[in-house]
Structure 1
Amino acid sequence: MNAPLRSWAGSLIALLLCAICWQAAVAAEQRKPHVTILATGGTIAGAAETGTQSGYKSGAVTIDAMLAAVPGIDKLAIVKGEQVANVGSQDMSFEILIKLAKRINELAPSADVDGFVITHGTDTMEESAYFLNLTVKTNKPVVMVGSMRPSTALSADGPLNLYNAVGVAADPKAKGRGVLVVMNDQIHGAHSLTKTSTTAVETFLSPLRGLIGVASYGKNDFYNTPPWKHTTQSEFDISNVTKLPRVDVVFADVDMPGDLIDCSVERGAKGIVIAGVGNGNMTKAAVDAASRAAQKGIVVVRSSRVPTGFVGRNVELDDDKLGFVASYELNPQKARVLLTLALLKQRSLSDIQNLYDLY
C-alpha cells in the first residue's frame, strides 16, 4: 500500500473510532437518569459575610450557583434546575407548596424526568415533605434536601447533601417510597422525620420508625418502605385548589387558659390542633373551650408536644363524648397539615379520625 493510501486509511480508521467513541458517549449520557431540581431557598441557599459566623441570609444563592459548588454531580444524573421560590423555610407558605406540588405533578409524566430533588430550609421541611407526600401523584422519587450551614460556611454540609439527594432521586430503588428527605447521609420518610436540634447537622431523626436508608457519596442502602398511604395512593387532590382552610396549632402548658382556643374560633379557624401535654392532654379550661369549638363544627385534633410517642383515642380524654380526634403518631405540625387537606371536603369525625390511621 502506497503512502497516500495508508494515510487515507489511517484517517478513515481514526474517524470511525471517533464516531464509535462519540456514539458510546451519547449512549452513556442517554442512559443516565434525568433529575429535576426544584429550588425553594433555605439555608442550603444561604450566604454569610464570612465562613465562620452563625448569622446568614437564607435564600441568597440560586440553584445554578448551588450546582456549580457540587463537583461530580453530573456523573450521577443529567441534572436540570428550576427556581420555584427563594425563601427561608420560616416563610414557607401553603401557596408555595401548592405551586410546588402542582409543578411536580405537571412534570412527573414526562419520560425526561426520572426523579425530583427539592432544596428547602430545614425549619419547616418536615411539614413540607409531609404535605408533598399527600399531594404529589407520582411513584418517581421525590427527595427533599437542605443544610444546617449556609453555602459560605467553613464546613458547609449543603454540597454533599445535594450530591446524595441527587443520587437517591436517580436510584430506581427509591421509587414508591413516598417523599424522602436526605440529610447528613441519612434517608428519612416524610411521615416520621422531625427536626430535633436548632443547629446540629444531625438535626433530623425518625425516632419512632427509624430510617428508610442511608446515602453515601451517591450510593444508597434502603432498609424499609413506609407503610402509610402516600403519593399515588393518596386521596387528596389539589389540582383545582388555590387556597387551604385555616387550621391553628395551640400549645398546651401549665395553667393553660381556654381563650386562645376561643380566639382561633373567632378568627375563622376551621380546625384546631392541640399540642397537648403528655398523651395529648390539656387543662380543664382548655378542654371546655375545645369542646365548645367542637360543638360549633370546628374539628379539634389532640396531638402532643412530647417528641415521641402515640396519642391514643379515648385514653386521656373521652374523645367520643367531647367530639375530638386523636393524632396517633403525627406531631402537631404534621397533624395540622393532614387536617388542612382533610377539610377540603365535608367529612365526618370518624372519617377524619381514620385518616390519621391511614396517612
Structure 2
Amino acid sequence: MKRMTAGLRKCGMLVIALSFSALAMAQQKPQVVILATGGTIAGAGADATNSATYQAAKVPVDKLIAGIPQLNDIASVRGEQVFQVASESLRNDNLLTLGKRVSELAKRDDVDGIVITHGTDTTEETAYFLNLVVHTDKPIVVVASMRPGTAMSADGTLNLFNAVSVAGNKESRSRGVLVVMNDEINSARDVSKMINIRPDAFKSPWGALGMIVEGKSYWFRRLDKRHTNASEFDIDKIKSLPLVEIAYAGGNVNDTAYRAFAQAGAKAIIHAGPGNGSVAGPLVPVLQDIHKQGIQIIRSSHVNAGGFVLRNAEQPDDKYDWIVAHDLNPQKARILASVALATTNNTKELQRIFWQY
C-alpha cells in the first residue's frame, strides 16, 4: 500500500512538472493575435477548380486557425473577427475601427505581433493606412490570398502560416507594417496588387524587404520612409477621415468626374494621370478653378509598376499650388491625403508629407 501511495505521488509530481514545463514552453512562444476582416482568404468556391469564381468572406477566423494546426508550433495564436466583408466594400469607418483595435492590441504586454487577414482588392490601402497611423514597433502583418481555400493549390494556408511566423519574429520589429504573400515580405508602403488571377500578384516596384522559406525569414532591406513610431499621425487622435476622390485620366478625358467630386464635397482630388501624372490641356483651367475652391489637387500616375511623379515636370506645380504624389499610386495617394488632411490643409505641408511618407 505504501509503495502504491509513493508511486502515485511520484506520478502526480511528474504530471505537475510536465504541466509547468508545457506552460513555460507556451509562454516562450510569441503571442500573436489574428484579426480577420474577410476577403478571399476566407472565401469558398463551389468546386475545387474555381480559383477565380467564388464567394469571399465566408469562413470565420476560428476555422481559418483550426485549419492550420502547425501554427501552434510557432506561436500562441488567438483570433478576433473584426469584420466579415469583401475588401472592395470596406469604408473609411472600417479603416478607423481596424486601426484603433490594432493600436489597442499593440499596447498590450501579452501581444508580440498582430496579423490581419484581408481581401486582396484593398490590401495595399489598409496596410498603408496602418503603416501611417499605428504607433508601435511590434510587427503588424497584413495577409491575403489570391485563391479561396476550396481551390486547387490554394495559397491562403501557407500565406497565413508565413504571416504568423513573421509577426512572431523579433527581427520583424520596427520595419513598419508588412504584407506577406507568396513567400515574400513586402513593405505596406510600396507593395501593390499587379494582377488579379495569380498568386504572385503583389509586388513592390522597389523590391521586397525579404522572403520566407519554410517558416524562416530572410531580410534584404529596410523602408526609409517615415512609418509607425516615427509617424506624426496617430490613430488614437483621428476621429474621421476627410473625403478624397480619385479621377482617372486617359485619352479623350473630360472634366465630368472632377467637377462632380468637387460638388460632392471632396477635400482633395487625386488626378490619376498617364506617365508623369500628365494633365491634358483642357483640364488645366478646370483643376485651377477647383483648387480655388479650397480643394487640393494631387497629381499621381496610373503607371502600374512605379509611376514616379516629378514636381514641376509636365505642369508648373509651384505656379498652380498643386501637389505631386511622389511614387505613390493613386489609391495610396488617396490614403495619405485623407490622413494628412485630418490635420492640415496647407499645400506646402501636404507636399512635405508626400515626400516623407
TM-score by length of 2: 0.96
1:221 aligns with 2:221: no
Instruction: Give the 5 Å matches for 1:96-115.
Output: 96-115=94-113
Instruction: Give the 5 Å matches for 1:94-243.
Output: 94-207=92-205, 209-243=206-240
Q: Is the 8 A contact 2:240 2:342 kept in 1?
A: no
What is the CA–CA distance in structure 2 between the aligned matches of 1:257 and 1:130, rounded to whole Å?
30
In structure 2, the residue matched to 1:266 is 263
Q: Is the 8 A contact 1:256 1:282 kept in 2?
A: no
Which one is further off, 16-25 or 341-350? 16-25
Q: Is the 8 A contact 1:182 1:188 kept in 2?
A: yes
1:51 aligns with 2:39: no
User: How big is the alpha-carbon RMSD for the aligned residues of Structure 1 and Structure 2?
Assistant: 1.4
In structure 1, the residue matched to 2:300 is 303
Residue identity matched to 1:33: P
1:19 aligns with 2:16: yes
Q: Is the 8 A contact 1:95 1:242 kept in 2?
A: no
1:76 aligns with 2:74: yes
> Structure 1, residues 100-145: CA drift from partner, whole Å, max 9, x if none?
0001111211111100000000011101110111111211100000
- Counterpart of 2:48 in 1: which secondary structure? coil
Q: Is the 8 A contact 1:166 1:218 kept in 2?
A: no
Question: Percent identity, aligned pairs only?
Answer: 43
What is the CA–CA distance in structure 1 between the aligned matches of 2:255 and 2:5, rounded to whole Å?
93
What is the deviation of 1:9?
A: 4.6
> Structure 1, residues 46-89: CA drift from partner, whole Å, max 9, x if none?
01121112311110110011111112111111111000001111
In structure 2, the residue matched to 1:60 is 58
In structure 2, the residue matched to 1:291 is 288
> Structure 1, residues 218-258: CA drift from partner, whole Å, max 9, x if none?
21112122111111211113324343211111111112112
Runs of 5+ consecutive residues of structure 2 not aligned to the other structure? none
In structure 1, the residue matched to 2:247 is 250
In structure 2, the residue matched to 1:313 is 311
What is the deviation of 1:154?
A: 2.0
Q: Is the 8 A contact 2:34 2:117 kept in 1?
A: yes
- Counterpart of 2:236 in 1: which secondary structure? coil
> Structure 1, residues 176-210: CA drift from partner, whole Å, max 9, x if none?
11110000110000111011111100000011x21
What is the CA–CA distance in structure 1 between the aligned matches of 2:172 and 2:165, rounded to whole Å?
10
What is the CA–CA distance in structure 1 between the aligned matches of 2:235 and 2:41, rounded to whole Å?
28
Q: Is the 8 A contact 1:160 1:217 kept in 2?
A: no
TM-score by length of 1: 0.95
- Counterpart of 1:306 in 2: which secondary structure? coil
What is the CA–CA distance in structure 1 between the aligned matches of 2:3 and 2:242, rounded to whole Å?
79
Runs of 5+ consecutive residues of structure 1 not aligned to the other structure? none
